[in-house]
Amino acid sequence: MRYFDLFHPASAAFYFLSVLLLCVFSPHPALPLCALCGGLAFLAVLRRGRMSARAIAAGAALFLLIAVTNPLFVHKGKTVLFLLGRRAVTLEALLYGVSLSVMLAAAMVWSRCFDAVMTSDKLMFLLGRLSPKTALLFSSALRFVPLFRQQAGRIRTAQRAMGLDGTGGRAGRLRAGARTYSALVTWSLENAVDTGAAMKGRGFGLKGRTAFSLFHFAERDVLLVIAAALTDILAAAGMACGRLDFAYYPLVTLTRPDALGSIAIAAFAVLSFLPVVLEGKEELRWRCCRSKI
């Protein structure tokens, strides 16, 4: 079990929300860059260093696409790099495209980390107290996605065994896809009815019904919430006072951070790499314990 899995769902959700909001809404490029580096390190730890080449290539392609596309369509800025026809490609537009790419990449990476840590049980726990029906609907929707893929594979395998593999050109493939879709929709409706009947038979929605949970708010959760809240306050104060201002147009203008801005950036950097530090500390402790056996 990963150490970050031990945190309470509320404290973990508050942490991810803090990092994502500061990454997306910060005008200073240092915060999204710290978020991207910390998120990549955390994702590598969650996946034990096994990063698929396809995912890396897709992320790099999206990064380059946004970074290159922005100066081709936005021609603001005074520093002209070259002319593309009658349109000027400016340095400011290129830098803004790179900054936007970093922010989007960081948001995508932290969303993947959120998906790996916040399981359906944790989401059900968070939403169940506010709206049990919404929580059940959300959890069922998440569960049905892999079930649909598995059932679609079974249906296609059964059709191939029956000789209905979609041969005969595009029309044959279209008919095979229609048969698969029809069978899948019928199965999903029947499964939904069975799930609803099972939940009703188990007393879901009755008054006075209690819920069992293994999650407990511990001292580590309090420390995580305090660290995230302090970072949010520092970053919000830096933005409100203009210590984290950064303008791209018409010229790149950086407001030199004072003590408040520097502390806010440093605090966010620490917050971004906090999961990696915690996982590394636990791994080191585990190795020390194994060496003493």
**pLDDT tens readout for residues 48-60:** 766 656 667 777 8
Q: Which residues contact 247 (CB under 8 A, 6 or more apart)?
A: 253
Write the DSSP string, 227-290: HHHHHHHHHHHHHHTTTT-EE-SSS-EE----HHHHHHHHHHHHHHHHHHHHHHHHHHHHHHHH
The CA distance from 242 to 230, in Å, is: 18
Reported pTM: 0.78
Q: pLDDT class for 166, splitting at 50, 70, 90?
A: low
Is the pLDDT at 232 greater than 90? The verdict is yes
Q: What is the mean pLDDT of residues 17-33?
A: 92
**Rounded CA gap, 114 and 87, in Å?**
41
Task: Name the H helices within the chain.
Answer: 9-25, 30-46, 53-73, 91-117, 120-128, 132-161, 170-201, 219-240, 259-291
pLDDT given for residue 183 in this prediction: 87
Which residue did the predictor score with more confidence, 62 or 273? 273
B/e letters for 51-62, b = 16+ CB within 10 Å, e = fewer, are eeeeeeeebeee
**Residues 6 or more apart in contact with residue 110 via CB below 8 angstroms:** 16, 19, 20, 23, 35, 39
- Which is higher by pLDDT, 273 or 170? 273
